[in-house]
Structure 1
């Protein structure tokens, strides 16, 4: 009796039970009374694949190519879930926990669905299918397997019992549906939502890890690693930073963070410091101090999860971490720290028993995507879609959030339409699974008023005089008018941040028409492939260009420095982030100018940002000749207070209703939306990906991509492409579907080859969204 090819069902069930119990034992949670939680988790693991014992599945797993029956006949999750629901009733478990266990097991190979809808599907046709499966079990072999798994005496492995359980479940199904409807009307807590995600995550992580790692290689999940609490302190001691006034202020902030007392009853903290004030090292150091205290007082080893909004900032932070560990004499070890995002390399290197080795591809993928590390650097999308999701792949790592320390850097980038829902869920996670949160920003929205500040914020904003902000927003200007009125100072560098790609292109052309030498100016937008974009950013950082014209991609977290920054009108937090690209190191006086650019129909800002945030920004800046950096904190505080008062919580409230009724998937309703509809990043129209064959390396990459597509084995294709994906993505851009000038589609992706590069791609401005016509 097998669970997987050539692998005994008893071995798999025992392995999953041991892993899920181990994962649970690492945690200190309040989700339920410990004995109940242990018991429910253990029986979920035991029963999750029990349905594989019937002959139809056994025929399929041993000879998939010769299986003749309908696909539903070889299924196993529903039978496993039904048997578990009745078994738990005999164990004295109440309806709520039985239904959670039923949902977790039924969906463990798919995505979570509406729990009420799951019970509505329990009709006579379904019962007949399950009865055929029950009657096709070899119960003597099953009893032997359960004995091997160590559960021989705890269950009842007879056909008569299982048929009776089947009848009992379908008889009870109507009353269970009524229970759910009544419960949905009464419940106003997010604790059940967290309970479902936690149990689901424990099962699917244990299941995938047992099948994909334990079955195939020697690996110990019980060996956690220590991260020295003084890791950052030792790194700082090795540095020889100049004793400038700004560095002295950075050190003062770090020392204040180091002295902040830690009370484990306080779960929310914030670090609000001006741009360039060392938030990365300070927040990491505080997290290590907090981790040590939690381990000492609670006996659990928290993971540290460092999340950021943009891939470019993640790369910067990952490089800082790599340097911190390297200075401490720690070689690359992904059990200690790893970076995870959708383009991350699938490579997992570790050191066990004094030997370094790379695990194989399938195991590496599972370990990385399951966040099997002590310190994880990841994106907002990965983090928030681990908490607001119905997707199996996303939820697998949810249990790793328990007792974790979650750092949310550039917190202002979280969409305000979700503030209420996120605040409520974070509070539930702090209460139920012991999470701790640190919000970090130069423009902190303070949407967690209970968060303890790690520093006296005013003491760091007030002394700064690196930049002065000049609002020029009384009258709008066209691109051409803006270029004509520019006055250039000898020896100064300039950054222009515009709101749309087309307006940035138009301004670049306008500058050339005004006589600017094209060798002095560089252009940046997302229509330039990432490889070339990074080259240009590094060139700008090293002072190779006097003028940079860019879209918002350069705004937050990108470490560049200019004397003068011009920003087309945007919400105030975006303007302040743009100001962070000006005179970052305080070597001279910087200027930030805000202008209102128009295409003679409407403001470019109105194509990108909502009217409320723009209106608040213009109201706060109107009538001001200038704003010194020391006033930024007061200004941004007023902005977020006004935004909180004026913004709508409607979407958050409907999402919360979906979460509180365990409505994981389905149609939108007036009062609720399913959890599956959560989108951290709002789409700005349908787009297609385009591969730009920019150079010889790109041509080699695309040839390798075509070779991979010709492979017959889909698993080998997936493995080979995963190894190529990081290089492949360096040449991929996204363009709107509705552009005038669309490239040919090759292998499901837009493709611009070297031969047609000039037709579709401008070497300065990137993708040509409009055809310029061919001359014959």
Structure 2
């Protein structure tokens, strides 16, 4: 670990403190100058590693350093010092310190810019200090609309004057003397300076309201700058308070050539039909030989399923990283983002194997997995202690994981996009790690189409301002990128044209048919394996039961996968499916994209065409079975309604039917053309935004970015903070299932944790069991069959009542009217 701390002679300290000791007393309390200087050192480190077009590294470092150095200066008041050691921790308006600190940051930066001690970047001329003001003002909360953050009432101003009157002058002077050792430029600060800043703030800060009302920054530079300053301050502040040092991220000595060596070892010819092996080799070679133009930052990898997109995109990212690091003399991290937890585990495992093959230790500072259910474990190798493994305390591990302290981060679309499109303190702390990064968005078609235009504009501006490179990987490339500006890593038609593993049928014999009739009519061939992909849990369960009734002697060879089955069991079954245990699998969409399973015949209930093509990728992946069939059917409920329209927009289904109705069958070689026609049809119908004139959801969020509208009091206006990649499901509740002995032990630990009175200790202890706890959590509809509600925290199915609520094969038992979900 690289130490980032500033030492003071204890005899010369101010006697002011930032945090109490462990027992809440003055014993072991942290001196305020120690917190401020060390936070400033960290902020400067974070800023100085950025080499971006948005602003100069020197400018960003100066602003971040001074903002962090003064971000808690308001803690110097006697009100806060008394509160700090008050056992009752009684808060009042006088103990607030963010506003007076923000005014101090604003006033100090203004003065230093006026005196030419800071050379302001032209882009932010006149606005630098106010952006730092916003970051400081909200470092203990969440960002708001600029009009709200500029709202200084007479009471606010009066409070600032009262707080200044209650600062011990001698202690304050000592504090400034101490922290100015790190930054002599702020040595002019006195209590009188604070008063002058407040005097000016009464008028000057209010004047910015007019400027921000007019702001419409289509280049997103103000958005990125505020996010950067806020993120750097948050990360430095939290890191100093919890950990106190900077994690020394080791060099990652890995090349795309190493990945090629790994690939050649695992993809042996005998494991694949020769043409598939040849196509894999060709795609890898074409991708890694792709010419890189540093002025073109967005790359696309569109390949049929089963041709090794994971390995190819990772190898190309390493090549990009090597060139970028030489060109910009900065470290670049790789952010590998995926839509679903199931494929995160799968792809993380692939990257782990590559690293191990190359002789690298799988430590958290090399490879990090981050999603809401990942283990809170962060480990490194201590070079000073004979390379021994060092495992960090839970609080520190959480801090380091959520701050993306690693060379390679494997994470979800939610974590990635909601680090950018957010106003939340906790989400935005890692935003600054996105600068100087190679970003892989795998299975990018899974992003909701209403956000494609937003992503297109956001990604382009991120690349130009934050010095990012983005790789979009999928078998069904959506309209997220401009084909004129994006670089194709491989020519998709070269690979689609040569493949004939599957043929897609839109079977009119199974048009608007009920489940019972479908199972009775469908012809099963004895030696073949089948995957049925359904749109709802209820239709999947019903189909599973009907197939079992038809083949009572095959029950051990038939299984089901839905979200009503506990995650632990789902993962077990997916592994069994990969190992060819089952002949018939009934599933919802959770196997659709990226999960490496292989069947002779795939049957897909009608869905958006890109989902159908993804499902088709589960058939004959290795090309050993001649030509496999993918059958599209239209299933209806007892009420005669398509199951598809209960989970998908009818416009998507109609567009799919229009495209498919033009063909009796479609060979895999035509899939790329088919999907392109489908997306064109969606654009024609107005489902996909293609310009700012469309005024759809994407454009509304873009306008929020242009205006720095992080929040909005108007429910009709979309604000940055209201963005959610996956909408909340208020019709669902979480249920803990005591499915086995391990679940009983975990629940007992959970009950013990709930008894802990201290909130922070309780939270810490829960983090230690969180991963195991969520292995037994399912999300189910609110029905009449809900189990006991434990202290209004979570529903629970005790082991003694398991048979009443949960079937070990099909999962949760729903009764009564329920919302059909997937």
Match of 1:477 in 2: 513
Aligned CA distance change for structure 1 residues 684 and 612 (closer, same or farther; 3 Å): farther
Match of 1:148 in 2: 178
Match of 2:37 in 1: 14
Tell me the distance in 2 between the aligned counterparts of 1:473 and 1:374.
51
Aligned CA distance change for structure 1 residues 272 and 240 (closer, same or farther; 3 Å): closer
Tell me the distance in 2 between the aligned counterparts of 1:385 and 1:227.
30
- 1:314-325 alignment runs, 5 A limit: 314-325=344-355
1:501 equivalent in alignment to 2:534: no
Q: CA deviation at 1:539?
A: 2.1
Of the three residues 708, 721, 726, the one matched with 1:662 is: 708
Aligned CA distance change for structure 1 residues 658 and 38 (closer, same or farther; 3 Å): same
Answer whether contact 1:111 1:391 (CA < 8 A) is retained. Answer: yes
Aligned CA distance change for structure 1 residues 222 and 761 (closer, same or farther; 3 Å): closer
Tell me the distance in 1 between the aligned counterparts of 2:669 and 2:264.
30
Match of 2:632 in 1: 594
1:541 equivalent in alignment to 2:578: yes
Answer whether contact 1:231 1:325 (CA < 8 A) is retained. Answer: no
Tell me the distance in 2 between the aligned counterparts of 1:333 and 1:312.
21
1:309 equivalent in alignment to 2:335: no
Tell me the distance in 2 between the aligned counterparts of 1:234 and 1:64.
62
Tell me the distance in 2 between the aligned counterparts of 1:663 and 1:335.
35
1:752 equivalent in alignment to 2:752: no
Tell me the distance in 1 between the aligned counterparts of 2:539 and 2:470.
39
Match of 1:699 in 2: 744
Answer whether contact 2:298 2:460 (CA < 8 A) is retained. Answer: no
Of the three residues 51, 75, 84, the one matched with 2:96 is: 75
Match of 1:723 in 2: 768
1:393 equivalent in alignment to 2:393: no
Question: In the TM superposition, what whole-angstrom CA distance separates every residue of 1:749-772 from its partner, at most 9, and x where no partner exists?
Answer: 110011111111122211111179
Question: In the TM superposition, what whole-angstrom CA distance separates every residue of 1:690-746 from its partner, at most 9, and x where no partner exists?
Answer: 001111111111111111111233222222211111111111000122x22111101
1:118 equivalent in alignment to 2:155: no
Answer whether contact 1:664 1:675 (CA < 8 A) is retained. Answer: yes
Q: CA deviation at 1:521?
A: 1.6
Answer whether contact 2:172 2:191 (CA < 8 A) is retained. Answer: no
Aligned CA distance change for structure 1 residues 146 and 615 (closer, same or farther; 3 Å): same
1:570 equivalent in alignment to 2:596: no
Q: CA deviation at 1:172?
A: 2.5
SS in 1 for 2:512: strand
Answer whether contact 2:48 2:57 (CA < 8 A) is retained. Answer: no
Q: CA deviation at 1:174?
A: 3.2
Tell me the distance in 2 between the aligned counterparts of 1:669 and 1:660.
19
Tell me the distance in 1 between the aligned counterparts of 2:549 and 2:184.
84
Q: CA deviation at 1:409?
A: 0.2
Q: CA deviation at 1:638?
A: 1.2
SS in 2 for 1:64: coil
Q: CA deviation at 1:187?
A: 3.5
Question: In the TM superposition, what whole-angstrom CA distance separates every residue of 1:290-318 from its partner, at most 9, and x where no partner exists?
Answer: 11111111101100000000000000011
Unpaired runs of 5+ in structure 2? 1-15, 21-28, 115-119, 690-695, 818-822
1:625 equivalent in alignment to 2:664: yes
1:134 equivalent in alignment to 2:164: yes
Aligned CA distance change for structure 1 residues 257 and 19 (closer, same or farther; 3 Å): same
Q: CA deviation at 1:67?
A: 5.3
Tell me the distance in 2 between the aligned counterparts of 1:714 and 1:66.
15
Match of 2:289 in 1: 259
Match of 1:761 in 2: 806
Q: CA deviation at 1:663?
A: 0.9
Tell me the distance in 1 between the aligned counterparts of 2:472 and 2:394.
34
TM-score in terms of structure 2 length: 0.90
Answer whether contact 1:685 1:736 (CA < 8 A) is retained. Answer: no
Tell me the distance in 1 between the aligned counterparts of 2:753 and 2:459.
43
1:441 equivalent in alignment to 2:474: yes
Tell me the distance in 2 between the aligned counterparts of 1:359 and 1:557.
33
Tell me the distance in 2 between the aligned counterparts of 1:153 and 1:349.
39
Match of 1:3 in 2: 18
Answer whether contact 2:445 2:474 (CA < 8 A) is retained. Answer: yes
Match of 1:459 in 2: 494
TM-score in terms of structure 1 length: 0.95
Match of 2:129 in 1: 98
Q: CA deviation at 1:421?
A: 1.3
